Each structure stands twice: as C-alpha cells, then as structure tokens.
Structure 1
C-alpha cells in the first residue's frame, strides 16, 4: 500500500493535512468495504514526531536530529506493507531522506507521493505557538519550535521538485485551501498501475560470502575517484568511473570526504542484505551519488 510523504516548513500545518488525508482515506475504505473485500484489509497509519515521542529540540543539533530521523525512518519502514497506507507526517525537508523513503516503497512495489504544504515562512512563524495535545493537531503542533531552531530549519529546507521521481507525484496544498486533493491522491496511490521495480531496489538475495567486501570496495573506489578528480581538477565537472556505465556529475562546490562517506554508508545500508551483479555495483552507486549531490 502507498507511502504518502508530507513535506513543508516547520509549523506549516502538515499534521492537520495528514489527518485530513487519513480521514479521507478511511472514508473511502469504509465506502468500498461493502463491495470490495480487499478494502477491508487496508489500514491507514500516521507516523509523526509526536506519535514517536520526539521533541522538537532534537532539531537543534545534528546528532540528535540524525537519531530522530533514523527513528522516524524505522517506524515508517516497519509499517509499510501490502495492506497498510503509511502517511509520513514529518517535515521530510531533506531530499536525500525523501529519496530513502521512496526507495523503501519502491522495493515493496508500492507507490509513493509527496504532499507539499505550501505556507509562507512568515505565516509559519506566526503559527509557531503552543497548542494543547489532541489527536488532530492544528498548525504548529503540540510543541512550538524554539525561534532559532525554526529559522534554521526554514533556511535548510529543500523544496520538493515534481520533476524528480522521488518527489513524484507531487501534490501541492496551498495554506489558504481548506481541503486537500483527496480524490487525486487516492487515485494516484490506490487506483494506480502496478509499480515497476527499480534497478537500484530490486536485488537478488545475497549469495556470495564476500559480497559485503565487494560492495565496500566498489563504493570506496568511486569515492576515491571523486576525491582524486577534485584534487587534480578542482570543483565540478564529470567523473568517469571504470566499470561504471554512467558518470558522476559533481556540483560546483567542493564535495568533502565526510559527505561522500555518509552517502556511501547509506548506499551500503540499503544494499547490504541483497546482492546485485558485481559489474553493476559501481553504476548503481554512481546513480545514487548523483541523486544525493543534485
């Protein structure tokens, strides 16, 4: 069943919109249950910082934010199944994190989409006030963000782009609209055609005992090639990787070793339980790296 990723500035009312989507889907499921036995099995889940007991203070520093994101990611992954609709009610403001979630859905052959709650930054600041706990939290949620945390998150926000496959289909909900495009989201997510497997997510079960060593070396070779290219040629440009069918397109800013190793660890984490043809590993990592560096 589908993964619906909410995205938007902090205190933009994403939880309100997530609850509207949940209610719309539950209504549709109730209507269809009388005639479609499959609908009875469908359950809708909303995963949020509040539901996981995560404080908004985690966004003040990099380490607790990273841990909180891992907790959020694990909760979404645990719920994704053929009978569950998962609404990821977080900011999902980092494009690389949205890509991770997209890959999880793709691996299960289930569709995903992004619902972007479009609210001006100034209005989010006005909505960032304490509110009582309730099932359907209104804009700003239960706990306000500290002003400096709010400003920093708005500054770092990476807006979804419907031209990117991990942000597509993209549904934009302007702040002044009272209703969400429920029917459109339902049709795209539930009445969709079968999702085709993606080469980076559909892999054969691990067979070779030294697969992890091969995966580790292949990704390290790519990282080394990037660092060597930047050392010899400066920032930007294309990097041809031996044994890879595609090239790395570097941004105009310098890409340091810590960033490359972080991306490398993510890729290894996604693929450590499975195996692909050894000749394709570098091409797969180059593709993943290009998405992360866009």
Structure 2
C-alpha cells in the first residue's frame, strides 16, 4: 500500500513518532468510514530494535554498512500492496532514502517522508539520559548529526514531505473539536492523504532492477559507470561545471551522448560512492532483462543527475 520513511537526528524521537503513527494508521484502517480498498491492510514497523542491531554498529563505517544493508533488506521483504511499512531509522543519507523510494516504486506503492525535526542539543540530552546499551557514544552521535542530509520536499525521493517538531502534539492525538473520521493530528492526517490519495508513480528506467545472469554483466555495469566518471572528471578539469554538461562516451556500436545538469564541482570519492550505490541497487535479479551498454550509461547518468542536485 505504502511506505513512510522516517528520518531525523539520532535520539530525535523517531521511534516514539513511529509508534504514534502506527496507532493512528491502525485506527484509520479499522474505521468503517475508511474506503473499502484501504481497510484490512497491515502496519509494519522496521527499525534497528526489530532487527537486533546495536547502537555500536554506527561507531565505524565497516560496521555501519551491513547494518544499513540489513535494514534495507527488511524493508524489501515487507514492502507489499497490502502493507504500510514504517521505516523507523535515521535514514540520514539521501542515497538511502532514494533506495527506499526506488524499491517502493518497483513494488508499486506510494511513498511519504516524515522528518522528525529535533534540535541537536536536545538529542544529546536524550542520549545522555539513556542506559549504556541503548545510547550512542558521544563522538558517534556528533558524527551522525554532522553527516545528516536534511530532506528536501523538492527532491522526488523525499516528497511528499511532512515535518513534525519536537514539541508538536502526538500523531495519534485528535485536535479538540475535530470532525468525525479524524483519528490524529493534522500531520498524521496529511500522511494518510499522501499514502492513500497521492500520485502513484509507476516504475521507470531509474527504478527497474537488472538481471545479473553472468559476471560479465556485472563487469559491464562497472566499466560503463567508470567510463562516465572518468569522462566527467576529464571535462571538469578543462572548465568548471555550470549548467548542462554534454558528455560523449565511446560505447559500441556507436558513441553515446548524454547531458548532465551540474552546477558544482564533483570529486572522485563522491562519484565512486555513487557508483557503488548504483551497482548495488541495479545488480539484483528481478526483471529478467539485461541492459545494453548505452542503456546502462543513460541509467547511471540519470542516477547521478538525481543524486548530485
């Protein structure tokens, strides 16, 4: 039915908001006034606690990567047209939120982002009050806060975006004098409208997964994306990137011409990170189809375009 991706600083109160939202959604789904096509759906909350992932997993990048992968795998398993999946995690990297968005589009469900906006100092106070097993190390907490990429309603993977402040009312609390059929706050009702009435976007080239029937195909994915990176960096070395940047790639049987809309410099580490994300996202068995070199180039170019905005 839908996925709601929560995001915010560590200790921002996301889990409490997820519980409130789950209570609100379950009441909505059980309401006889709710349209029949929405009743009977289930609400699933996926978070670190449900997967037994310790806070220490975020102390270093080597431990954090498999933890994020485990979370994403759990989301993939639960995404379905008869479920509302609440992704109760920091989701502080926009690339991770983009993955959730792509997976939802592939399954054919609506998406929404809930940003729990809590001041950093309040997050630090909450972390200090936790016991050792559920608290982040102070250095880890500061690192995660500094790396947080705030959601943007203009980005398709973050839209529609609903923001709640730390002192906003509970999501499952009705406003005084609310009319019949209202089960929660205005923010909760806004989320409900987004996941039941919002635009249902079909899968497109950027969200289709690729059949990996051979190691040679994985090599083609890697070599084609590497070709774009080297061509782009070469172009940048000649002149600053500003506006449309046309690139000509020596693909077979004919050159491939793509254009990227870039307005800021890019770096090799940044592009390599995006290449790894792209390969991981697309090198999964699903559609039974392998794209040609030209199609892979266009697919990776589209991915870069969205990530480098």
TM category (shorter chain) comes to: 0.7 to 0.9
Q: CA offsets per residue over residues 135-167 of structure 1, 9 Å max, x none?
A: xxxxxx971222111111111111100011011
Give 1:138's aligned residue.
none
Give 1:172's aligned residue.
163
The alignment status of 1:290 with 2:293, answered yes or no, reads: no
Give 1:120's aligned residue.
119
Q: Distance in 2 between matches of 1:158 and 1:249?
A: 19
Residue 152 of structure 2, aligned match among 149, 161, 166: 161
1:247 counterpart SS class: strand
The alignment status of 1:98 with 2:97, answered yes or no, reads: yes
Contact 1:130 1:143 in 2 (8 A): no
In the TM superposition, residue 211 of structure 1 has moved relative to its aligned partner by 4.5
In the TM superposition, residue 129 of structure 1 has moved relative to its aligned partner by 3.8
Q: CA offsets per residue over residues 236-276 of structure 1, 9 Å max, x none?
A: 45642221432262633x512x4323322321232233434
Give 1:225's aligned residue.
231
Q: Distance in 1 between matches of 2:91 and 2:239?
A: 32
Give 1:72's aligned residue.
71
Unaligned runs of at least 5 residues, structure 2? 172-186, 249-255
Q: Distance in 2 between matches of 1:155 and 1:48?
A: 22
Q: Distance in 2 between matches of 1:199 and 1:115?
A: 26
TM-score (norm 1): 0.85
Residue 194 of structure 1, aligned match among 185, 188, 200: 200
Contact 1:44 1:87 in 2 (8 A): yes
Contact 2:106 2:202 in 1 (8 A): no
Count of residues in Structure 1 that have an aligned counterpart in Structure 2: 282
Q: Distance in 1 between matches of 2:85 and 2:296?
A: 30
Instruction: Name the Cα RMSD after superposition.
Output: 2.7
Contact 1:246 1:287 in 2 (8 A): no
Residue 267 of structure 2, aligned match among 235, 255, 258: 255
1:173 counterpart SS class: strand
Q: Distance in 1 between matches of 2:300 and 2:105?
A: 17
Q: Distance in 2 between matches of 1:73 and 1:204?
A: 18
Give 2:53's aligned residue.
54
Q: Distance in 1 between matches of 2:37 and 2:233?
A: 56
Contact 1:130 1:142 in 2 (8 A): no
Q: Distance in 1 between matches of 2:33 and 2:208?
A: 32
Select between 83-92 and 194-203 the one with higher mean Cα deviation: 194-203
Q: Distance in 1 between matches of 2:257 and 2:36?
A: 47
1:71 counterpart SS class: helix
Q: Distance in 1 between matches of 2:45 and 2:33?
A: 21
Select between 28-37 and 76-85 the one with higher mean Cα deviation: 28-37
The alignment status of 1:145 with 2:156, answered yes or no, reads: no
Q: Distance in 2 between matches of 1:286 and 1:53?
A: 37
Q: Does the C-alpha gap of structure 1 residues 205 and 72 become closer, same or farther in structure 2, counting only changes over 3 Å?
A: closer
